[in-house]
Amino acid sequence: MLLGIVALLFSGCKKEWTAELDGDAPRLFRPSMKGALVATGNYIDVAWQESEGAGGYKVEVSVDTFKTVAKSIDVVDTTAGTVDDLLWEQLYQVRVTTLHPTDAAKNSRPADFGEIKTPRFPTIVINPVSSDAGVNRILFKWKNEGDVVTTVKVFQATAESTPETLVQTIVLTPQNISDAWVLIENLKAATAYRVALYSGEKFRGENSYTTKDPLSGEIIDLSKENPASVDLGDVISNASSGATILLKKGATYEISTAVNFSKSVTVMSEDNPLIKLKAQLSISGVSNFGITANSTIAKLAFVDLEIFSNDAAGKYIFNPNTMATIDLFSFENCIIHDVRGVTRYRGGITVGQQTFSNCIIYNIGGYAVLTVDDNKSAVNNFILENSTVYNADAFLASKNNASGLYKIEHVTFYRAPLSGRNFIDFDGTKNTIAGGLTIAGVIFGDPKTTDVNATNKTLGGVRINPSTQVTGGGNYRTADFTWKEASDLIPLSTLDYSKKSTDLFTDPDAGNFKIKDNGFAGKDSAGDPRWRP
């Protein structure tokens, strides 16, 4: 038995280190990573365990998974190094090689240490939100700190192989400087731009934008009308298929009579960047929006709206119970709150793709952000991206299979879901997502609990048919969060943040998830991007 164990151990070691042991000149072993990669400026700090027989080490970084090497350094007499003078806001891959003191043929194979993104250039320019870019204009904002700003330059981005073009130079007026913003107009639709800020010749920062696609089809502009006189149900009923309905920003539209959708429609706030408040849809006199029976809808979209109800315990945004098909159902740049559930499907509804992008969703009851509540209905593809979900009893549940792909990327969760529940539940383990489930760049904060003094708060991961491929990475959990262990749960891969949610976020109970701990390893890569420092 002893001989067998020794042989097995030798076999396992030999398999692991085949690359080092093969050939006429056995190589040194690859170094092992020590701690996490750190990038607090335009440089990367990396550390590793000492390798026996090493005469030094080579640290290399790449932006194209080592098709090319962007920069390298040699390190002697230590097991840590810093790669300086890198690009700002650039994702780098890192590898380290152990160097033999006399024979390069015996250098180790490169050890892959993963990747890390350098932070944004220290700047007074304010991160953009999706509403800052319109069809033909950009709202560019900054903070008045240090030298007085003087000029904004607008460059049109082109293909990588050709230089960008300077299309506007704006000399800032005293009013622009006092406002700390300028509206850049007369731009092309659906075009990428870079906008840079200067104090004289001194560069102060920049943002990249892409202007929106021009509106097409029937445009119903209600932004100049009194919201109290608008019957949104009638407007939608009389609109042509594919119509876009523009609502007045800052105005509230009371939904007091039934609103049923039977055709492709986009409902959105007017394109006015100087008004911060979105158009508001208040579900007050009805229980939810509806879908007309046997409808076939190519696209149903809600853009730049605030949508809520006056009964968080009993009302929904959508709660159809009928046969219908929706190819694409999207919420973009929306604030959704105070409902029992956002979208609940029964009776034979089939949604090809449901998307929430750049949204803030909070005060949600037990019917979650998405619930497929019978095996006649289905949501075949689902995306939640660049969004925040907080104070929600549940997040995602389905009683049917999905034929496509589910993705949850760059999302901040706090007090969501309720402690003891599962993050995602596909009716036990009998249902599956055929195209797989991806969860990446997510921050899991303190779960919700009915007992504010509770200390034993746990959350189940993914309960689904084990044939479903679950992938992802770059996820973090705070110290006040614990995954529940159970045989029917697929655990999620998360990195540990050693402090509580209140140490990471500025004021989470008030809905402010701005990251205040600059030592947090995921500050530039995880969670809703709007909260990154």
pLDDT per position as a tens digit, 272-329: 888 889 999 999 999 999 999 999 999 999 999 999 999 999 999 999 999 999 999 9
Residue that has been written with the tokens 């911060």 in this structure: 276
Q: In angstroms, what CA-CA distances link 165 with 153, 196, 202, 205?
A: 10, 13, 20, 18
Provide the pLDDT confidence category of residue 41 given band limits of 50, 70 and 90. confident
Please tell me the predicted confidence (pLDDT) of residue 25. 59
Residues 25 and 112 in one domain: yes
The rounded distance, in Å, linking the Cα atoms of 521 and 533 is 12
Residues 150 and 201 in one domain: yes
Using DSSP, state whether 277 is helix, strand or coil: coil
Domain assignment present for residue 416? The answer is no
Provide the pLDDT confidence category of residue 455 given band limits of 50, 70 and 90. low
Tokens of 433: 């997502």
User: Cβ(414)–Cβ(390) under 8 Å?
Assistant: yes
**Into how many domains does the chain fold?**
2
Which domain covers residue 75, as residue numbers? 20-117
Residues 105 and 155 in one domain: no
Question: 73, 124, 115: which is closest to 90 by C-alpha?
Answer: 115
Q: Region 146-150: what's the mean pLDDT? A: 96
pLDDT per position as a tens digit, 492-521: 889 999 999 999 999 999 999 999 998 898
The rounded distance, in Å, linking the Cα atoms of 426 and 403 is 13
For 355, counting Cβ atoms within 10 Å of its Cβ (0-12 exposed, 13-18 middle, 19+ buried), the class is middle
Eight-state DSSP code of residue 531: G
Residues 136 and 97 in one domain: no
Please tell me the predicted confidence (pLDDT) of residue 224. 93
Domain assignment present for residue 180? The answer is yes
Single out the residue in 187, 210, 233 at which a domain terminates.
Answer: 210
Residues 52 and 77 in one domain: yes
Residues 110 and 41 in one domain: yes
User: Cβ(331)–Cβ(354) under 8 Å?
Assistant: no
Look up the CATH number of the domain holding residue 91. 2.60.40.10
User: Cβ(38)–Cβ(45) under 8 Å?
Assistant: yes
Question: 355, 364, 410: which is closest to 387 by C-alpha?
Answer: 410
Residues 136 and 184 in one domain: yes
The rounded distance, in Å, linking the Cα atoms of 86 and 95 is 15
Please tell me the predicted confidence (pLDDT) of residue 452. 63
Residues 113 and 138 in one domain: no
pLDDT per position as a tens digit, 321-333: 999 999 999 999 9
Please tell me the predicted confidence (pLDDT) of residue 485. 84
Domain assignment present for residue 205? The answer is yes
The rounded distance, in Å, linking the Cα atoms of 502 and 480 is 9
Q: Going by C-beta distance under 8 Å and a sequence separation of 6 or more, which residues neighbour residue 74? A: 56, 57, 58, 59, 99
Please tell me the predicted confidence (pLDDT) of residue 160. 60
Single out the residue in 150, 177, 210 at which a domain terminates.
Answer: 210
The rounded distance, in Å, linking the Cα atoms of 107 and 191 is 48
Average pLDDT, the chain: 91
Domain assignment present for residue 220? The answer is no
The rounded distance, in Å, linking the Cα atoms of 175 and 492 is 51
Provide the pLDDT confidence category of residue 159 given band limits of 50, 70 and 90. low
Tokens of 103: 């024979």
Domain assignment present for residue 224? The answer is no
Residue ranges of alpha helices (H) inside 186-281 are: 232-238
The rounded distance, in Å, linking the Cα atoms of 13 and 1 is 18
Q: Region 354-380: what's the mean pLDDT? A: 97
Domain assignment present for residue 1? The answer is no
Q: In angstroms, what CA-CA distances link 191 with 196, 285, 476?
A: 16, 42, 35
DSSP string, 385-453: EEEEEEEES--EEESS-BSS-EEEEEEEEES-SBTTSEEEESTTTT--BTT-EEEES-EE-PPB-S-TT
- Number of Cβ within 10 Å of residue 488's Cβ equals 12
Residues 108 and 25 in one domain: yes
Looking at residue 427, its amino acid is D
pLDDT per position as a tens digit, 231-254: 999 999 999 999 999 999 999 999
Domain assignment present for residue 102? The answer is yes
On the question of pLDDT at 527 being above 50, the answer is yes
Percentage, residues of the chain above pLDDT 70: 93
Q: In angstroms, what CA-CA distances link 234 with 151, 230, 238?
A: 48, 9, 6
Provide the pLDDT confidence category of residue 24 given band limits of 50, 70 and 90. low
Residues 83 and 170 in one domain: no
Single out the residue in 210, 243, 274 at which a domain terminates.
Answer: 210
Residues 92 and 135 in one domain: no
pLDDT per position as a tens digit, 395-448: 999 999 999 999 999 999 999 999 889 999 999 888 999 999 999 999 999 999
Residues 39 and 91 in one domain: yes
CA dihedral 14, 17, 23, 24 (to 10 degrees): -80
pLDDT per position as a tens digit, 99-114: 999 999 999 999 999 8
Provide the pLDDT confidence category of residue 22 given band limits of 50, 70 and 90. low
How wide is the angle at C-alpha 528 spanned by C-alphas 523 and 532, nearest 5°?
A: 35
Domain assignment present for residue 516? The answer is no
How wide is the angle at C-alpha 174 spanned by C-alphas 171 and 179, nearest 5°?
A: 100
Q: Region 205-229: what's the mean pLDDT? A: 93
The rounded distance, in Å, linking the Cα atoms of 531 and 442 is 12
Q: Going by C-beta distance under 8 Å and a sequence separation of 6 or more, which residues neighbour residue 422? A: 459, 460, 461, 462, 463, 484, 489
* 72 or 127: which leads in pLDDT: 72
Residue that has been written with the tokens 């190589």 in this structure: 27
Is-above-0.85 flag for pTM? no
